[in-house]
Amino acid sequence: MSTELTSTPPRNFVLRLYDRFAGLVRELGKFGVVGGITFVVDSGIYAAGLALGWNTYAAKTLAVAVAATLAFLGNRFWTWRDRPKSGLHREYLLYFLFNAIGLGIALGCLWLSHSALGSVWPNVFETEIADFIAANVFGLVLGTMFRFYAYRRWVFVAAE
């Protein structure tokens, strides 16, 4: 009787994992490219709004609205182009609903930093750089995680 241990080599495990999640990895990659481009657009509009003396919340709202429109186009016609179309009107409305929630997440991070923490440490948290980091780093990362899940789950629905 053989007492050899049978185990799956790590390479096979990695290949099986890749096979299982290859579609998700491709979607994440495409979503990341679209997000990277729209991050530059969002950040540029936000920074320009602040430079023009706009209220920080108004600048962020305009930046998100423009970037979200570009992101919708990129995601519908590239990231999830292979998924069945369920009606442009439906997808667009749901997309912007989830973007509004994502905006709320970014504005919540901005409020937490600027207003809540700013009332305690105004020299640190009521600065343009602190606002930028709160809105475009923390807010954008948390909002993006939420949006990716929501878009996959409810907007660009996979075929059954």
| 99: exposed, middle or buried (Cβ count in 10 Å: 0-12, 13-18, 19+) | buried
Taking every pair of C-alpha atoms in the chain, what is the biggest distance, in angstroms?
81
User: The whole model's pTM is what?
Assistant: 0.69
Q: In this predicted model, what pLDDT tens digit does every residue of 28-85 receive, in sequence order?
A: 999 999 999 998 999 999 999 999 999 988 998 899 889 988 999 999 999 999 988 8
Residue ranges of the alpha helices (H) in 52-139?
56-74, 88-111, 118-120, 122-125, 128-133
Could you give the CA distance from residue 90 to residue 102 in angstroms, rounded to a whole number?
18
The tokens of 101 are what?
A: 């929630």
Q: According to the model, what pLDDT value does residue 48 have?
A: 97
Given pLDDT bands bounded at 50, 70 and 90, which one contains residue 6?
Answer: low
Q: Is the pLDDT of residue 151 over 80?
A: yes
Given pLDDT bands bounded at 50, 70 and 90, which one contains residue 20?
Answer: confident
> Across residues 99-124, what is the average pLDDT?
90
List the domain boundaries for the chain: 24-155
CA distances from 138 to 50, 62, 106 (A): 18, 18, 7
